[in-house]
Structure 1
Amino acid sequence: MKRMLINATQKEELRVAIVDGKRLYDLNIENVKHEQKKSNIYKGRITRIEPSLDAVFVDYGGKKHGFLPFREVSIEYFKKITNINARYNIKDVLFEGQELIVQINKEARGNKGAALTTFISLAGSYLVLMPNNPKVGGISRQIEGENRNELKEIMSLLEFKKGMGFIVRTAGLGQTKESLQWDLNFRIQHWESIKKIASKHAAPFLLHQESNVLVRAFRDYLRQDIKEILIDNSKIFDLARQHITALGRPDFKNKIKLYKNEISLFSHYQIESQIASIFQREVRLPSGGSIVIDTTEALTAIDINSSRSTKGYDIEETAFNTNLEAVTEIARQLRLRDLGGLIVMDFIDMTPIKNKRLIENSLKEAVRQDRARIQISHISRFGLLEMSRQRLNSSLCESDNHICSRCNGKGVIRDYKSLSLSILRLIEEESVKKNTKSVNVIVPINVASYLLNEKRTILVLFEKKSSGVKIVIVPDKNLETPNYSITRIRKNRIKKNINKVSPKTYKIKFLFYINKIIHLINFYKRRKIFIICTK
């Protein structure tokens, strides 16, 4: 039995989980610090036209300007058009400073700004309205057979303005014409109010903010297979009952229940450990195998390993059974982590073509219930399968994780001895340059110890070769490998050459003099001990 569990015990996070028995099916987490902007509607202004990219950049009020491809610009914003079907140059129909209504299609990620579109979509309980895109329309791909034909007949009876389009959602299955018409009219009114607000304000301006995770969960997941909605917070419980009524889903009002147990809601259904696995690189399979998920800038790589799996009579059967088991978990992890873009899976090698086709068909069946658009290719002769998945929201790992300041997201760092040798070569390169007075090097303590103890003779040799250039090694306890700083000081001015950590000039001078004082103290201590011994 499927249930919707809503956890709101911590004010920083609101978690909505869909469980099938005690197995986590889907998860949404809304963090107070991370505000979702996808599907927000803004009035923006074109700031730059780039014919080479066939796109424009739009100031919609975000930190970075949004990216709007020419194909995502509605014809209603074109100027001087005589033929609708003709192909126009972007500079001929759009101009800088032009204001338009845009919606965020993809949120900003890393150095990339948000992807925008002028083809607005307004999601309702039973359908999605496209108010300025008449070419788009239809029925959810998850509705098949006779149900699809029945919905087509009802759709032909619905009344809406010319130039609009809409898609009936899965939740619209079994609804009457009156219910669908009510939802459609509500979306049309919403669009009219958005246009009215846009006419009164200059760009950039927020026109519509997407609902919170609670409303989105009710709108996107409420189907007849959800038998119970459990909430562990009384305030959210009251709010949920109000939202259900506002969304026009009174049939679910009696399914909402307040959870009052001493054991936390998610712990009761044993899904906390399943949620923890979402943030792990390796996911174990029941048979003993595992899948390893690595996300890069270009794609997500998934490797299937047999590990301790012995599920089969021979190596071929073990490989097939492990791959078959991995397919179900991969489809689940893609949904839970909301991984999007290009995904490449490296399956355990299988010889029979029949087994490869069975794995492909199993994967297609496993992702059928996913709300995202998915395209799947065939397994290549190298055992790789490529697929693409639409990113619905920013993935949990992106929103809740930060790039490691030490390794910069690589996951590995250079060995301190190898780093020391690299720094040594850079010191030599800087010291032999003309007009050099000294080379100051700020490094972590372990690197400084290695250079001063193991490579002191080489450093002295560098000073002799370079005709009196001073090489100063300064250990900094606040630095960690692989960070360091090398500064070349000229006889007439200072020039920073290599900076993996950019210290200020006064800090260099301060550490330089501190280092000299330490050397003097150690020198006099050794001299005092020598005098005592001779006496």
Structure 2
Amino acid sequence: MKRMLINATHAEELRVALVDGQKLYDLDIEVPAREQKKSNIYKGLITRVERSLEAVFVDYGSERHGFLPFKEITGQAIGLETQDIDDKNLIKEGLEIVVQVEKEERGNKGAALTTQISLAGSYLVLMPNNPGAGGISRRIDGDNRAALREALDQLVVPETVGLIVRTAGVGKSVEELQWDLNYLTHLWEAISRASEDRKAPYLIFQESNFVIRSIRDYLRADIDEVLIDSQGSFTLAHDFMQQIMPQYLSRVRLYEDQVPLFTRYQIESQIETAYGREVPLPSGGSIVIDPTEALTSIDINSARATKGADFETTALNINLEAADEIARQLRIRDMGGLFVIDFIDMGPTKNQRMVENRIKEAMKHDRARIQFSRISRFGLLEMSRQRIHSSLTESSLPVCPRCHGQGTIRSVESLSLSIIRILEEEAMKEHTARVIVHLPIDCATFVLNEKRSEIEQIEETHQVSLIVVPDKHLETPHYEIERVRTKEVKQDQAASHERVEQANPRETQPYKREPIVQQTAAVKNIMPATQRPAAPSNIAGDGFLKRLFNKIIPSAEQKPDNNNHQTIPANNNSQQRSNQPRSTKPNDNRNKNRNKSRSKNRTTKESNKPNQKVSQASNTSANKEKDSTKPTQLTSENTPQAPKPRRRRRPNRRTNNNETNKQMESKPVESKPVESKPVESKPVESKPVESK
């Protein structure tokens, strides 16, 4: 049973988890202090134009200016009537422009911006001023794609916009799609009016609340239950679903148990693995995930896994487990970019293909776009994953203030020796009277004791005074060196212990998030003008395969009724059909035609013709006459009133012809009432008696 769990008890961190039973397969965490800007719409100001980069930098109200390439600027965004911009000189500094955040800020990089606005609804994505774009989500195929194309043709779409049908639009009626389109059109009109109110930069439209956005993006027909442990978030979700998604309203419940929601379903420990570098595998192996600036490397280790019969089997089993876990971890951590996976070396090519197919199958339901390569001769698989949101590492794991994200620090001995060399270089400069160095306590202790002779030698050689100040505010590998010139000696007369208070501990302070000034959107609380239309029973109509199936297999109205031994056609024209001549030959003629050399078969074939006429004449007679014509059912199978005969089993071609003829001759014996026929069929009466 699949559930969506929304944990909103702590305002500092909101969490949404998707679980199947008690296994976590997707996770989304938002920190309100770290404002999400993706999909927000701003009115910005072009501050710099870089022709060499073919891009501009836009001030949209953030600390870092956004990056806007020329190819992402449309003509309507700068006041032109055409979509394309022929003259790039029209893009100038000081120009106000409406932009949307396409990618979040990462590290020292500013946000990626675009003027090709897109507004996501429940079933559709509206692209204003871009009528050439649009279509159907690439995840939709087959009959659903054809049905949605027919539905799109019936929508009333403005000429200046484009549409994309989301995966949630599968199975929706034309009325539901039109209702969503009207809401998005109304929203864009409000954004257009708000963009002309005041000067840039300011926020025009902000993406929906985290709870609402999660329900909109994750809630599908396979989710059986939505549990929310906060009354405020439950009310917000209930109102949204009552207006937008009433068909799923009964699945939303308020969780009021004393046991925490995530603890109840035993997923807290699974979430903790997403923060770690190493993830264990069931067989005893492990995967190690190391993000870098350019890509993310994933290494698979066998560790204690020894359950296989041989090394090749063990390597295959571990790689298959790793493929499933990697797909799960990438969704939980929401990591994007380039990935290089180092699988355990496998000899047979078929094993490599099994691992490739396994990881593709595991990532089939991922919302992000994913591309794969084959496993190379070095055992590496390259893949890319679309970056949808900020990853869990970027949102919840700030850079270490001590190592600055490097993950390692220099030893006390190595750092102390490096500082002594730097002190000697400073002492060699002209007009140097004094060199003051602030060191961590452990490094200062090492220099003043183990390296005291080296310090004294530098002072004697260069006639410079070296002052070592142990600083409690510093930690390895941080230090500070100050060079005092000869003319500045009189001004610098502070004692060494007083210099500790003057040290700048800014670099080594524990991490502290600076407060973010929340912006208020100019457009907010825009709701649909009308109630969502009710979904009809047959929402999208029969698909192509179903229509083809109905053509091949008739409906229940056209199937024969075995109890009454007669066919009931849908148009009730059985009398007309019974009067039409039948050209279909009896089933007995199949075997008889293969044995034309036998005279008995020829006689039987001739005798079937008058019996066929008798059966046609008996269609309008009473029940007694029908009983008298029952022996002719072998030759009148196509008449409406006669019961459908059982298909005779085709004789084996390898059997002897004599055995086949005996079977054919013995068939009339079963129909004893042949003698009561009013039709002349003397040859038929005499031959069965002789054979018997």
Task: State TM-score, norm by structure 1.
Answer: 0.89
Deviation at 1:509, TM superposition (A): 3.3
| Alpha-carbon distance in structure 2 between the residues aligned to 1:54 and 1:130 | 24
Counterpart residue number, 1:487? 482
Please give the secondary structure, in 2, of the residue aligned with 1:492: helix
Counterpart residue number, 1:161? 158
Deviation at 1:134, TM superposition (A): 2.5
Deviation at 1:358, TM superposition (A): 2.0
Counterpart residue number, 1:511? 496
| Alpha-carbon distance in structure 1 between the residues aligned to 2:391 and 2:342 | 22
Question: Are 1:415 and 2:411 an aligned pair?
Answer: yes
1:5-61 deviation line (CA, Å, top 9, x unaligned)? 111222322221111111112112222212111100011111111111110111111
| Alpha-carbon distance in structure 1 between the residues aligned to 2:301 and 2:396 | 27
Decide whether the 8 Å contact of 1:48 with 1:96 is kept in 2.
yes
Task: Name the Cα RMSD after superposition.
Answer: 2.0
Which residue type is aligned with residue 116 of structure 1?
L
Question: Are 1:354 and 2:339 an aligned pair?
Answer: no
Decide whether the 8 Å contact of 1:55 with 1:67 is kept in 2.
yes
For residue 252 of structure 2, the aligned residue among 245, 248, 256 is 256
For residue 136 of structure 1, the aligned residue among 128, 133, 138 is 133
Counterpart residue number, 1:10? 10
Counterpart residue number, 1:309? 305
Which residue type is aligned with residue 486 of structure 1?
I
1:172-227 deviation line (CA, Å, top 9, x unaligned)? 11111100110011111111110011122221121100011111111111211011
Please give the secondary structure, in 2, of the residue aligned with 1:452: helix
Distance 1:18-1:423 versus aligned 2 partners, 3 A rule: same
| Alpha-carbon distance in structure 2 between the residues aligned to 1:406 and 1:227 | 46
| Alpha-carbon distance in structure 2 between the residues aligned to 1:79 and 1:184 | 25
Q: Post-superposition, which runs of at least 4 consecutive aligned residues in structure 1 deviate over 4 A?
A: 78-82, 512-515
Deviation at 1:252, TM superposition (A): 0.8
Mapping of 1:313-332 within 5 angstroms? 313-332=309-328
Which residue type is aligned with residue 345 of structure 1?
I
Which residue type is aligned with residue 221 of structure 1?
Y
For residue 471 of structure 1, the aligned residue among 466, 471, 480 is 466
Distance 1:221-1:418 versus aligned 2 partners, 3 A rule: same
| Alpha-carbon distance in structure 2 between the residues aligned to 1:367 and 1:402 | 28
| Alpha-carbon distance in structure 1 between the residues aligned to 2:499 and 2:169 | 74
Counterpart residue number, 1:498? none
Decide whether the 8 Å contact of 1:79 with 1:93 is kept in 2.
no
Counterpart residue number, 2:363? 367
Mapping of 1:44-83 within 5 angstroms? 44-77=44-77
| Alpha-carbon distance in structure 1 between the residues aligned to 2:9 and 2:78 | 50
Distance 1:414-1:514 versus aligned 2 partners, 3 A rule: closer
Question: Are 1:227 and 2:224 an aligned pair?
Answer: yes
Decide whether the 8 Å contact of 2:30 with 2:395 is kept in 1.
no
For residue 119 of structure 2, the aligned residue among 109, 118, 122 is 122
User: Where in structure 2 are there 5+ consecutive unaligned residues?
Assistant: 501-692
Decide whether the 8 Å contact of 1:28 with 1:213 is kept in 2.
no
Mapping of 1:424-443 within 5 angstroms? 424-443=420-439
Counterpart residue number, 2:241? 244
| Alpha-carbon distance in structure 1 between the residues aligned to 2:320 and 2:134 | 36
Decide whether the 8 Å contact of 1:340 with 1:389 is kept in 2.
yes
Taking only the aligned residue pairs, the percentage that are identical comes to: 57
1:261-308 deviation line (CA, Å, top 9, x unaligned)? 221111111111111111111111111111111111211111111111
Counterpart residue number, 1:277? 273
Deviation at 1:143, TM superposition (A): 2.0
Question: Are 1:268 and 2:264 an aligned pair?
Answer: yes
Deviation at 1:353, TM superposition (A): 2.1
Distance 1:81-1:262 versus aligned 2 partners, 3 A rule: closer
| Alpha-carbon distance in structure 2 between the residues aligned to 1:79 and 1:154 | 34
Deviation at 1:255, TM superposition (A): 0.8
Greater shift, 199-208 or 407-416, is seen at: 199-208
Counterpart residue number, 1:446? 442
Distance 1:514-1:218 versus aligned 2 partners, 3 A rule: closer
| Alpha-carbon distance in structure 2 between the residues aligned to 1:235 and 1:443 | 52
| Alpha-carbon distance in structure 2 between the residues aligned to 1:79 and 1:43 | 14
Aligned length: 499
Greater shift, 457-466 or 183-192, is seen at: 457-466
Please give the secondary structure, in 1, of the residue aligned with 2:195: helix
| Alpha-carbon distance in structure 2 between the residues aligned to 1:509 and 1:32 | 46
Please give the secondary structure, in 1, of the residue aligned with 2:487: coil
Counterpart residue number, 1:526? none
Decide whether the 8 Å contact of 1:80 with 1:93 is kept in 2.
no
Greater shift, 126-135 or 46-55, is seen at: 126-135
Decide whether the 8 Å contact of 2:212 with 2:236 is kept in 1.
no
| Alpha-carbon distance in structure 1 between the residues aligned to 2:231 and 2:281 | 38
| Alpha-carbon distance in structure 2 between the residues aligned to 1:309 and 1:109 | 38
Please give the secondary structure, in 1, of the residue aligned with 2:367: coil
Counterpart residue number, 1:175? 172
Please give the secondary structure, in 2, of the residue aligned with 1:19: strand
Decide whether the 8 Å contact of 1:311 with 1:321 is kept in 2.
no
Deviation at 1:79, TM superposition (A): 7.0
Decide whether the 8 Å contact of 1:47 with 1:59 is kept in 2.
yes
Please give the secondary structure, in 2, of the residue aligned with 1:479: coil
Deviation at 1:260, TM superposition (A): 2.3
Distance 1:286-1:89 versus aligned 2 partners, 3 A rule: farther
Decide whether the 8 Å contact of 1:126 with 1:172 is kept in 2.
yes
Which residue type is aligned with residue 511 of structure 1?
S
Distance 1:237-1:379 versus aligned 2 partners, 3 A rule: same
Decide whether the 8 Å contact of 1:81 with 1:93 is kept in 2.
no
Decide whether the 8 Å contact of 1:13 with 1:29 is kept in 2.
yes
Deviation at 1:325, TM superposition (A): 0.8
- Compare the two structures and name the one with the higher strand fraction: 1
Please give the secondary structure, in 2, of the residue aligned with 1:24: strand
- Largest Rg, 1 or 2: 2
| Alpha-carbon distance in structure 1 between the residues aligned to 2:303 and 2:133 | 47
Please give the secondary structure, in 1, of the residue aligned with 2:188: helix
Question: Are 1:386 and 2:382 an aligned pair?
Answer: yes
Which residue type is aligned with residue 285 of structure 1?
L
Task: State TM-score, norm by structure 2.
Answer: 0.70
